[in-house]
């Protein structure tokens, strides 16, 4: 078995460890943010840091990649697909977990799973925080862009991490919300790449 086949297992293990550490720091981090107000959520910095977490930005990136990348739509299509995958993933998890944002109440270990039953899935309760949707989309975009432009891969992940940091510093999410969002985004990014690669292979046969 080659080393590359162990990579997903290793990455999953690293994520589990990171998530466990984040959970242990949720209360401390949220209380510090609530006291210190390190970032003005209405300010230009917060707005700029959050941009890569919006699907419209991902679509604009996909258009640019489609126009200028040598493989055109082959690299643009995963970006387009990753958005809906992230949307489905984080919507389900928010409904299942039912954790409210720290800005509502600093109760990181209070959960309201499956709030309002099936109706709550269709008409999601506002103010749910787990996982961070902005972070998930930013990491899904980073995965797709790292495949499209490998040498810039670290930059894309730094940008995605900055989105997650903004969500914490704005007091919109707990630390573990962001770590969970990163995991959701990475899985959705890989899924989007796998789906499109399969479609490409079928078209070329």
Asked if residues 97 and 111 have their Cβ atoms less than 8 Å apart, the reply is yes
Q: How far is CA 37 from CA 41, 149, 161, in A?
A: 9, 36, 19
Q: How far is CA 120 from CA 96, 104, 107, 178, in A?
A: 10, 19, 21, 22
Structure tokens at 163: 């989105």
| Residue 61 confidence (pLDDT) | 95
Residue 8, judged by CB atoms within 10 A of its CB (0-12, 13-18, 19+), counts as: exposed
CATH number of 3-204: 1.20.144
Residue 123, judged by CB atoms within 10 A of its CB (0-12, 13-18, 19+), counts as: exposed
Residues in the chain predicted with pLDDT less than 70, given as ranges, are 1-4, 198-205
pTM over 0.85: yes
| Residue 11 confidence (pLDDT) | 85
| Residue 141 confidence (pLDDT) | 97
């Amino acid at each position: 078995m080659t080393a590359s086949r162990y990579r997903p297992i290793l990455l999953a293990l690293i994520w589990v460890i990171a998530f466990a550490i984040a959970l242990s720091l949720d209360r401390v981090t949220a209380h510090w943010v609530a006291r210190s107000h390190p970032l003005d959520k209405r300010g230009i910095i917060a707005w700029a840091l959050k941009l890569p977490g919006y699907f419209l930005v991902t679509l604009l990136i996909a258009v640019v990649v489609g126009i200028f990348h040598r493989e055109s739509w082959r690299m643009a299509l995963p970006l387009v697909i990753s958005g809906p995958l992230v949307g489905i993933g984080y919507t389900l998890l928010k409904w299942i977990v039912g954790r409210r944002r720290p800005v509502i109440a600093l109760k990181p270990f209070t959960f309201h799973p499956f709030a309002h039953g099936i109706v709550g899935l269709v008409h999601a309760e506002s103010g749910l925080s787990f996982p961070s949707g902005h972070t998930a989309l930013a990491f899904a975009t980073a995965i797709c862009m790292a495949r499209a432009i490998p040498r810039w891969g670290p930059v894309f992940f730094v940008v995605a991490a900055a989105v997650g940091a903004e969500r914490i510093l704005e007091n919109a999410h707990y630390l573990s919300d962001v770590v969970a969002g990163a995991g959701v985004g990475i899985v959705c990014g890989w899924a989007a790449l796998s789906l499109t690669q399969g479609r490409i292979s079928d078209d070329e046969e």
